[in-house]
Chains A and B, each alone.
Chain A
Amino acid sequence: MSQSPATPLTTADGVPLKVSLRRAVRRSKLKALLLASPLLAFLLIAFVMPIVDMLWRSVDNPEVSTHLSRTVQALQGWDGESLPEEPVFAALVADLREGKEARNLGLLSSRLNYEKSGMRSTISRTARRLRTVEPPYREALIAVNDTWGELDTWKLIQREAVPYTLSYYLAAVDRQFGPDGEIVKVPEYLEIHVELFWRTFWMSAVITALTLLLGYPIAYLLATLPLRHSNLLMILVLLPFWTSLLVRTTTWIAILQSQGVLNDMMVAIGLIADEARWQMIHNKIGTIVAMTHILLPFMILPLYSVMKTIPPSYMRAARSLGGKPLLSFRRVYFPLTIPGIAAGGILVFILAIGYYITPALVGGQSGRFITNYIAYHMQTSLNWGLAAAIASILLAVVVVFYLVFNRLIGVDKVKLG
């Protein structure tokens, strides 16, 4: 060796080779980043920012502190044992007057109404009578509406004066703050979300199990049949992919409804009586059937891609070693397909718990998912904070599943086709 190992290698122009290499790598990385930048920008605007906004909205709580700023200030140091003193009521009147001028009492009243029903009408009635209110305000306001004479009202205002709140998350799991800030269940007649969460999870689990049950044999055939047949089968599997989601969902309505194809056929062959047609749509059955069909390819493809890599010689070896067909399958083939099962399962389950259109169309009242309530709070009740909290919980569940999956199986095992 003519060069001692201590001498650093250099390029022709004398730059140390290490520096030169690092520079070249950096340049190629920069180029790759530039090529990906349109997509990155798109993802940032259409994916990352909405998620951040949603997470922020689920805890954001500006209404009380901005629209009742004087009241909140006057309430500082209030012990909560007895009704506040006159200055607090005076501050409230000033806040309400200003809010009435600016016409933004609506936000405040609906925010308080989420926490204490009746607050909307209390505030609007008080606002309407503000002109006639004279000091002393304490007696005057209580005269206008005796809600102002309740300790809980003032505790509520004091509690909700913070800029961030957990009350949307509590509402998302059918809980609320009690008068003294403790967490209590909402009245039974208002309980809805927890049941919907559970329904979403167990129905998604059923759908995942059904897709596995139906998809496993098909994936096996796809991976083992001669190419000519497996190609045809693959087209049959992919065909639903190329068909509009709406078409597929409405087709199930045509098939499953009480005057639909399936019921007609069963009546025609005398399996069921005409007046006892089965209700198979606009309920849980409808949602499960339609979603199993729609999500089936997402189970088949990861299974297929894993099975494709299992050489047939494994099963042959198992059998030549004396394993009966079923035992060989259980001990050799099945364990090797577990990454595929996990990948397909996680994919279908995550897609299912976030599914909206199909349960909305065929789910009726009983087959509805939590996603339909997110839409309800977005569009009808306009309680975006609650919608954001529910959606954030779903997101957290998905992330947890993803992390568990990654820990157990590894995300790199997921392949589509």
Chain B
Amino acid sequence: MNDSAVIDAPQASPQETNSCFARFVDVQKSYDGVELVVKGFNLDIQSGEFVTLLGPSGSGKTTCLMMMAGFETPTHGEILLKGKPISGLPPHKRGIGMVFQNYALFPHMTVAENLAFPLEVRHLSKAEVQQKVDRALAMVRLEGFGSRRPAQLSGGQQQRVALARALVFEPELVLMDEPLGALDKNLREEMQYEIKRIHASLGVTMIYVTHDQTEALTMSDRIAVFNDGVVQQLATPETLYESPDNAFVATFIGENNRLMGEVVERLDERCEVRLDSGERVIAKPVAVGGAGSRTTLSLRPERVALIADDGDAERYDNRFPAIVKEVIYLGDHLRTRLELCGNDEFIIKTPNAEGHPSLRPGQSVTVGWTWQDCRALDA
């Protein structure tokens, strides 16, 4: 069931094999010869694309990145770069820029020496090195910081230097291994835009690893959601969020209400599900079998509406009474926890708009949602 869901998934971009810049073909990796950390990873990356490998820790995403960089070898399968297999190529001959989790700036060298390192090992002339280092520093807006040591820079500045160093020798592919993990929230957001800007201006291909879904959604052209060594879904951020293929993706990307139930009747484009608490819900079948199969209904909190008593109730195919348990004020929106259909973890988000109904814990309300927003996924 799971597999068929993956195969049925709409592909976000055309997969023209011959124009592929980098490819993972059926790559497997095992460290101990018993357990597979990566199980059959396939990914085609177009030139200039920003692809994110997203997943919880231990899902195999960093391993995939390390195999691309050449620090790990696949136990099965092949990795191709511009059509050529690179498994036999040592890291220093791959010409791939890489930004490490803790930046890995050489502490005994100045910023300028750090940036000059990849150029000097390529035997560029002194003038060329100087010119490229200056340009790279300007690109990350750190002019005048060349003579400092990494330890004298803030976390954000170190991050910029690491980025500049990975780009200074003009690689066509840049790998980033959770590069913003050590930064605080504001700086992280700033750097996300910075990286996006650089990506757009240089046109390099980037493979980015993160466990932060917001980061992935903000920056990526396409996201591969990893779990348990398998890509659960590979799609654009919008598709991932709006139409997740399975329950893992739905839960991992964004906030999500889950209702467990059983399919009663399945029609072409909609199905009827009986929840474990007895209520019936009309949903959109995405990854379910026929009548009688178990399913998880996935519903985004912002797609659930509070229904006022005046007439627009008919817009919603599903309407249920609920009791307000908790209201959290978040400035631009309100996050309300409800008890609905025997589930007291049901979350709705309502914009803090003019004239929004004020809710109090204990209050009875009616909520509703359309069948299109309620996706019936694997159990």
A residues engaging B (CB < 8 A)?
Answer: 311, 313-314, 316-325, 327-328, 331-332, 335-336
Please determine whether A321 and B102 come into contact, CB atoms closer than 8 angstroms. no
**B100 within 8 A of partner (CB):** yes
Would A317 and B107 count as touching, CB distance under 8 A? no
Give the nearest-CB partner of B106 in chain A.
A332
B121 touches A320 (CB 8 A): no
B106 / chain A contacts, CB cutoff of 8 Å: 314, 317-318, 332, 336
Q: A313-B100, A322-B92 are in contact. Are A336 and B108 (CB under 8 A)?
A: yes
Q: Mark B272-305, 1 if CB is under 8 A from A, else 0.
A: 0000000000000000000000000000000000
Q: What is the CA–CA distance of A318 and B101 in the complex, to the nearest angstrom? A: 14
B104 within 8 A of A: yes
- Does B122 touch A at the CB level, under 8 Å? yes
Tally of chain B residues near chain A (CB < 8 A):
27
Q: How far is the CA of A321 from the CA of B105 in the complex (A)?
A: 11
Do A336 and B92 form a contact, CB below 8 Å, given A317-B98, A317-B100, A322-B122?
no
Q: Which residues of A contact B166 (CB under 8 A)?
A: 320-321
User: How many angstroms between the C-alpha atoms of A322 and B166 in the bound complex?
Assistant: 11
30 interchain pairs (CB within 8 A)? A311-B102, A311-B104, A313-B104, A316-B98, A316-B104, A317-B104, A317-B165, A319-B70, A319-B71, A319-B91, A320-B69, A320-B71, A320-B94, A320-B96, A320-B166, A321-B121, A322-B95, A322-B118, A322-B122, A322-B169, A323-B92, A323-B117, A323-B118, A324-B121, A325-B90, A327-B121, A332-B106, A335-B108, A336-B106, A336-B108
Residues of A within 8 Å of B60, CB to CB, are none
Provide the bound-state CA to CA distance between A135 and B302, in Å.
128
Minimum CB distance partner of A338 in chain B:
B108
- Complex Cα distance, B98 from A313, in Å, reads 11
CA distance A319 to B90 in the complex (A): 9
Residues of B within 8 A of A323 (CB): 92, 117-118, 121
Residues of A within 8 A of B91 (CB): 316, 319-320
**Which residues on the A side are within 8 Å of B101 (C-beta)?**
313
Q: Which residues of B are found within 8 Å of A319, using beta-carbon distances?
A: 70-71, 90-92
Q: Are A320 and B102 in contact (CB-based, < 8 A)?
A: no
The interface residues of chain A lying within 8 Å CB-to-CB of B121 are 321-324, 327
CA distance A327 to B106 in the complex (A): 14
A320 B90 Cβ-Cβ under 8 A: no
Q: Is the CB of A321 within 8 A of B169?
A: yes
Q: Is the interface of B mostly helix, strand, loop or mixed?
A: loop
Query: Please, which residues of chain B bring their CB within 8 A of the CB of A320?
Result: 69-71, 91-92, 94, 96-98, 166
With a cutoff of 8 Å between Cβ atoms, the chain B residues found around residue A324 in the complex are 92, 121
Closest 7 CB pairs of A and B: A321-B118, A317-B104, A313-B104, A320-B98, A319-B91, A313-B100, A319-B92
Distance from A20 Cβ to chain B, minimum over Cβ atoms (Å): 37
By the criterion CB–CB under 8 Å, are A314 and B104 in contact? yes
Whether the pair B102, A313 counts as a contact (CB closer than 8 A) is: yes
Point out which of A313, A317, A327, A335 has the most chain B C-beta atoms below 10 A from its C-beta. Answer: A317
How far, in whole Å, are A319 and B98 apart by their CA atoms in the complex? Answer: 10
Which residues on the B side are within 8 Å of A318 (C-beta)? 106, 117
Contact with A along B117-135 (1 / 0, CB 8 A): 1100110000000000000
Using CB atoms and an 8 Å cutoff, list the residues of chain B in contact with chain A. 69-71, 90-98, 100-102, 104-108, 117-118, 121-122, 165-166, 169
Kindly list chain B residues whose C-beta atoms are within 8 Å of the C-beta of A311: 102, 104
Minimum CB–CB distance for B121 against chain A, Å: 5
Q: With A and B bound together, what is the CA distance between A40 and B93 in angstroms?
A: 60
Residues of A within 8 A of B95 (CB): 322
B31 to chain A, nearest CB (A): 11
Nearest chain B CB to A328's CB is how many angstroms away?
Answer: 7
Q: How far is the CA of A47 from the CA of B146 in the complex (A)?
A: 50
Provide the residues of chain A in CB contact with B108, threshold 8 Å.
335-336
> Which residue of chain A is the closest to B175 with respect to CB atoms?
A320
Residues of B within 8 A of A316 (CB): 69, 71, 91, 98, 100, 104
Given contacts A316-B104, A322-B92, 15 further A-B contacts (CB under 8 A): A311-B102, A311-B104, A317-B104, A320-B70, A320-B71, A320-B94, A320-B97, A321-B121, A321-B166, A322-B93, A322-B121, A323-B117, A328-B92, A331-B117, A332-B106
User: Given the complex, which residues of B lie within 8 Å of A314, measured CB to CB?
Assistant: 104, 106
Max chain B Cβ within 10 angstroms of own Cβ: one of A313, A318, A321 = A321
* A328 to B71 CA separation, bound complex (whole angstroms): 14
Contacts of B165 in A (CB 8 A): 317, 321
Interface centre among A316, A322, A324 (most CB of B within 10 A): A322
- Min CB distance B313 to A, Å, is 58
CB-CB under 8 A for A336 and B98, given A318-B117, A319-B91, A324-B92: no
In the complex, A320 Cα to B96 Cα: how many Å? 6
Q: Cα distance A3–B101 when bound, in Å?
A: 47
Q: Which residues of A contact B105 (CB under 8 A)?
A: 317
Instruction: Name A332's closest neighbour in chain B (CB-CB).
Output: B106
Once the chains are docked, how many angstroms separate the CA of A314 from the CA of B102? 10
Cα–Cα, bound, A323→B117 (Å): 8
Q: Give, as a whole number of angstroms, the nearest-CB distance from A334 to chain B.
A: 10
- Give Cα distance in the complex from A280 to B71, angstroms: 46
Cα–Cα, bound, A316→B92 (Å): 9
- Chain B's closest residue to A317 (CB) is B104
B40 smallest CB distance to A (angstroms):
26
Who on chain A is nearest to B94 by CB? A320
Taken together as a complex, chains A and B put the C-alpha atoms of A320 and B71 apart, in Å, by 9
B93 contacts which chain A residues (CB < 8 A)?
A: 322
Q: How far is the CB of A316 from chain B (nearest CB, A)?
A: 6
Q: How far apart sit A327 and B120, CA to CA, in the bound complex (Å)?
A: 11
CA distance A316 to B118 in the complex (A): 13
Question: Can you name the residue of chain A whose Cβ is closest to the Cβ of B98?
Answer: A320
Min C-beta distance of B22 to chain A, whole Å: 15
Q: Please, which residue of chain A has its CB at the minimum distance from the CB of B91?
A: A319
**What is the chain A residue whose CB lies nearest that of B107?**
A336
| Interchain CA distance A335-B114 in the complex, whole Å | 14
**CB-defined contacts of B94 to chain A, threshold 8 Å:** 320
Contacts of B97 in A (CB 8 A): 320-321
Residues of B within 8 A of A336 (CB): 106-108
Give the complex CA separation of A311 and B105 in angstroms. Answer: 11
